[in-house]
A and B are shown apart, each in its own frame.
Chain A
Amino acid sequence: MLWRSLGIAIFLITWEVASLVVASKLILPGPIPVLQAFLDMCQKLPFWLSVGGSFLRVLEAFLLSVVLGILTGSLSGMLPRFRAALSPVMTGIRATPVLALILLAMFWFPSSQVPVFSAVLMAFPIMHTGAEIGVQATDEKLLQMSKLYAVPFSTIVWKLRIPSAMPHLLSGAKNTLGISWKVIVAGEVLSQPRFALGTGMQEARLSLETPSVFAWALMTIALCGLTEYLFGILIRRPVRALPPSAKRPLAARSAS
């Protein structure tokens, strides 16, 4: 905790010093004007409507990515032919620049859905990979034991395959949530839907209100951190039930 506080303090001091050196509120406002702009925005209803709008889009994109990723990832993990057929598509999606995707989506979808579509395409491959690795993570020796004792298929899925895959699914879901926030806000900046953090950010930029741009960005970071924290609380119970060896992938992802 002490080292975290020290890190934040060093960051704020560096920011303040840099803003003093630049000496232009338009280019780099210091932390205090940004905080002032942030507090001003918090008192306005449209700001909270924007927060709610973006939050719902992130939730929609996150849930769609998780469902789609688990579905395709599980099939890929179990069926080598499906994996081979899907591989070029996944490579194509992963290699597509996010901005190109948002611009294309603007031709196809209403402005409120452009960020969601873009976020799903960017985030679901992460969940897909987590589910694919998760399915393959099941211990072959335990599967052999299950076969020998004639354990029913559904019991193997619920009691063996899903718990074995759980650390990879959870770390995939956590990363999916983070990337969803980034892509949703980027999509909102370009597609300008009503009630969106990205729209507010873009309008502040056009009005040359740099402290407000920083304040909108600050809110995005805070929301992303908050949802990841809440997700962490939500998964605490299933993670606690996992054996120490199974928690390793989660710990590794958190560290990175």
Chain B
Amino acid sequence: MSYAVRDLAKSFGSLQVLEHIDFSFQESSIIAILGPSGCGKTTILNLVSGIVELDSGTLEGFAGKRFSYCFQEPRLLDWLTVEENMRYALASRLRIEPEKAATLSRIDRFLEEAGLAEFASYMPRELSGGMRKRLALARAFASPSDLLLLDEAFSEVDLKQRMDLMRTFLGLWSDEKPTTIIVTHDIHDALYLAHRIFVMSQRPSRIVGSLAIDIPHEERFFSSDAMARHEMELYRLLGFTRQE
């Protein structure tokens, strides 16, 4: 099973955001779309998930799929507890009596794996920024879906929280290995997490190159020559070259 985006274009009014976007990927892989801020990365997620309608192009393999979306900001209901926020996102499954027990244990499991089990009765405002992001991640993973979309899910937190978040993500991902699209402007998010990285240009954006990372996740957090080469290659694709 594979997914493909063919010749995708999108403009908002007179502003052409995306043109000739082409990429494809396999099921159960993590891909990262890397590009500068404002180049239309989020628009790609919104187009594939159906939040926004595309102007032209085709989406292959996406029809009828269920999506989980981890937004740039956690999008939590501040008046519900951590556990209630999880239950809210899974409300449709909790209504089906035969699935209720399994769904509740799924919520417990993902809260546990995200390190939030002991905070289940806390209100979101009582959590740190990193914990709120972990909750949004747990919610996205707990909601059964075919495609997981992550929009700058590891940004706006300090380095320690970011590393924790990435480890949480990999721990959650390794359970069921959902097909995942990460959009990010940060090279390291892409390098540490993705199996394949697609690099976008400035607006109107295109895919200017791609890079496969075949190093196991557990080895990526420690610097190696291979990781350094990949990093240099990404800088080159983004248009950063050594000054002569």
Contacts and interface: CB of A to CB of B under 8 A. Distances in A.
Interface in B119-147: 123, 125, 139, 143
A64 interface: no
B51 interface: yes
B75 A151 contact: no
Contacts, number: 54
A160 B95 CA distance: 17
Contact of A241 (B79, B92, B143): B79
Interface of B: 49, 51, 66-69, 71, 73, 75, 77-80, 84, 88-92, 95, 123, 125, 139, 143
Decide if the interface of chain A is mainly helix, strand, loop or mixed. helix
A142 interface: yes
Contacts of B139: 149
Nearest to B73: A141
Given A142-B75, A160-B77, A148 B51 contact: yes
In which size bucket is the chain A interface? 20 to 34
Nearest to B139: A149
A150 B69 contact: no
Contacts of A146: 88
27 contacts: A141-B73, A141-B75, A142-B75, A145-B69, A145-B71, A145-B89, A146-B88, A148-B49, A148-B67, A149-B68, A149-B88, A149-B89, A149-B90, A150-B66, A151-B88, A151-B91, A151-B92, A152-B91, A155-B88, A155-B91, A159-B80, A159-B84, A160-B88, A163-B77, A241-B79, A243-B123, A244-B125
A148 B73 CA distance: 15
- 4 closest residue pairs by CB, A with B: A243-B78, A149-B89, A155-B91, A145-B75
Interface in A126-158: 141-142, 144-146, 148-152, 155
A48 B79 CA distance: 43
Contacts of A43: none
A17 interface: no
A243 B75 contact: no
Contacts of B78: 243, 245-246
Interface of A: 141-142, 144-146, 148-152, 155, 159-160, 163, 241-246
Given A155-B88, A155-B91, A243-B125, A148 B79 contact: no
Contacts of B69: 145, 148-149
B184 to A, nearest CB: 20
A150 B92 contact: yes
Contacts of A145: 69, 71, 75, 89
B77 A142 contact: yes
Contact of B51 (A144, A151, A152, A242): A144
Nearest to A141: B75
